Amino acid sequence: MTAGILAGKVALVTGAAGGMGRATALMFAEAGAKVVVSDIDADGGVATAALITDEGGEARFVTADVSDSRSVAELVRGTVAAFGGLHCAVNGAAIELERERLADVDEAVFDRIIAVNLRSIFLCMKYEIRQLLEQGSGGAIVNIASTNSFRPQPNQSAYTASKHGVLGMTRNAAIDYAPDGIRINAICPGAIDTPMLRAAIERRGREPDEVAGRLSLLGRFGEPDEIAKAALWLCSDESSFTIGHALAVDGGYLAR
């Protein structure tokens, strides 16, 4: 990637208080974008925005509950108010809470996972697309799916269902809005070294080295920056002919 590849662009990144979202926001700012950082975690989101502005970039933090329609609508309006428009978005907010088989999953846990992981993608795309259509100049949207979109892990029925849904919704929206110059794609991360992954490993009583060896041909976890690089490419003009694609960034896990 070259410096300035997103110069003059306005980017919105959800789930940006840490992990892959923070890495994406930082990389987009380094590439020249003005970045709206969003998360329900205000402390982490403010910290991400500060990391950008401390390096001379332009960023604003806008808190949002991406499972709530009014909050997402305000988020997009806030993005436009802060920087005058919207050109690309990475929808990455997600949770993973399960450790039981399907019959033992609490219904409230299922509902919460679907709300944060799937309903949020619908709402974010809904309001992002409306803004892009109003501007009339196209744009790019990247949704964060998962290798679970293709190959489920044990005891993750709700999470897997949500990530299958993200991929299906991404592809359908890509078909609908390609004629308007809006490119919509998904990234399917494998085992990326984030607080959410570490918490899931601890919750299941697993050893990190065993998990890394099982979920990657390289025998290591991926780094958040490796997802950010994929998102940057998909949001840039370098991927101008890429539409409705599910890009696995997984250390070869799905190749097995």
Q: Which residues are catalytic?
A: 159
Helix, strand, coil shares, percent, the chain, to 5: 50, 15, 30
Partnered with residue 39 across adjacent β-strands are 63
- Does residue 38 contact residue 63 with C-beta atoms inside 8 Å? yes
Q: Using the CB atoms, write b or e for 134-149: b if 16+ within 10 Å.
A: eeeebbbbbbbbbbbb
**In what side-by-side order are the strands of the sheet with 59-63?**
59-63, 34-39, 10-14, 88-91, 139-144, 182-189, 246-249
> Residue 118 to residues 84, 109, 113, 122: CA-CA distances in angstroms?
28, 14, 8, 7
Angle at which helices 157-177 and 107-114 pack, to 10 degrees? 30
Rounded Cα–Cα distance for residues 62 and 12 (Å):
10
- HSE-CB for 222 with a 13 A CA cutoff: 25
Residues near 146 by Cβ (< 8 Å), separated by ≥ 6? Answer: 159, 163, 166, 188, 189
